[in-house]
A and B are shown apart, each in its own frame.
Chain A
Amino acid sequence: EAGVAQSPRYKIIEKRQSVAFWCNPISGHATLYWYQQILGQGPKLLIQFQNNGVVDDSQLPKDRFSAERLKGVDSTLKIQPAKLEDSAVYLCASSLDRREGTDTQYFGPGTRLTVL
């Protein structure tokens, strides 16, 4: 079974530029998550999708971050414009069904973003 795929693995941009990350979850997983992991901290949830609908985006800085999962499968996270403090690893995870609190989340390898 293929795992969660993410691209690119690394990205370096200058502040005020735009960037987009892509995630393809495990086949059949209804729930998709985007986390931000700043160096020295644990991952923090940015947004959660159930199929193509947003369940929780309370921690997403909506003035510059946006995310979509149009067909309920793969997802894109965008930052526009980027700030220095956005330097982090962006993790995508998926699970079968968010309504089960016992449901295991499977993580992708992450995209390491450096903003100069």
Chain B
Amino acid sequence: AQSVTQLDSQVPVFEEAPVELRCNYSSSVSVYLFWYVQYPNQGLQLLLKYLSGSTLVESINGFEAEFNKSQTSFHLRKPSVHISDTAEYFCAVSPLTGANNLFFGTGTRLTVIP
């Protein structure tokens, strides 16, 4: 069974400040890891994913996440946030084998304050 924990339901941060959104997971099998973002009134969009190889993955808009197997974590970071980053962020896992099912955390609402 898989489960994903996002401890912070809301994270307010000032514009141009750094941010970290935490994600921990539990799984009896190896998993792929994902971050999805949901902007206001829009559908979920894939932000970045870890499949294999380098444990540090980056998105095109400056976010990065690092897979830490020993701590079963996949925290999302950005060194300097913009107003446009205000959104809900979901961490998810998918087992390496079997169906391509996503198991989501409860989400973290990031609010960037001008």
Interface residues in chain B, defined as those with a beta carbon under 8 Å from any beta carbon in chain A: 4, 9, 32, 36, 41-46, 49, 51, 90, 92, 94-102, 104-107
Interface of B is mostly: loop
The one of B32, B41, B90, B99 in contact with A98, judged by C-beta atoms closer than 8 angstroms, is B99
Chain B proximity of A28: nearest CB distance (Å): 16
The CB with the most chain B CB atoms within 10 A, among A3, A4, A45, A95, is that of A45
Our pick among A42, A48, A106, A107 for the contact of B99 (Cβ within 8 Å) is: A48
| Besides A42-B4, A98-B100, 11 other A-B contacts (C-beta < 8 A) | A42-B92, A43-B44, A43-B90, A43-B104, A44-B104, A48-B99, A93-B44, A101-B94, A102-B49, A104-B49, A105-B46
Assess whether B107 is in contact with A108, with CB atoms less than 8 Å apart.
no
Contact among B97, B100, B101, B106 for A42, CB-based, below 8 A: B106
**A110 close to B43 (CB less than 8 A):** yes
- Assuming A42-B106, A56-B101, is B43 touching A101 (CB within 8 A)? no
A contact residues vs B (CB 8 Å cutoff):
3-4, 31, 40-45, 48, 55-56, 91, 93, 95, 98-110
B43 & A109 in contact (Cβ 8 Å cutoff): yes
Which residue from chain B places its CB closest to the CB of A56 in the assembled complex? B99
What CA separation (Å) do A33 and B32 show in the bound complex?
A: 18
Complex contacts, B44 vs chain A, CB 8 Å:
43, 91, 93, 107
How far is A91 from B43 in the complex, measured between Cα atoms in Å?
Answer: 8
Neighbouring B residues of A31 by C-beta, 8 Å:
100
Question: What is the minimal beta-carbon distance from A37 to any residue of chain B, in angstroms?
Answer: 8
- Given contacts A91-B44, A104-B49, A110-B43, is CB(A45)–CB(B100) below 8 Å? no
Whether B96 pairs with A42 at a CB distance below 8 angstroms is no
A45 and B101: CB pair below 8 A?
yes
Q: Which residues of A contact B101 (CB under 8 A)?
A: 45, 48, 56
Chain A residue contacts of B105, Cβ below 8 A: 42
Does the CB pair A41–B106 fall under 8 Å?
A: yes
Q: Which of B36, B46, B97 contacts A101 (CB 8 A)?
A: B97
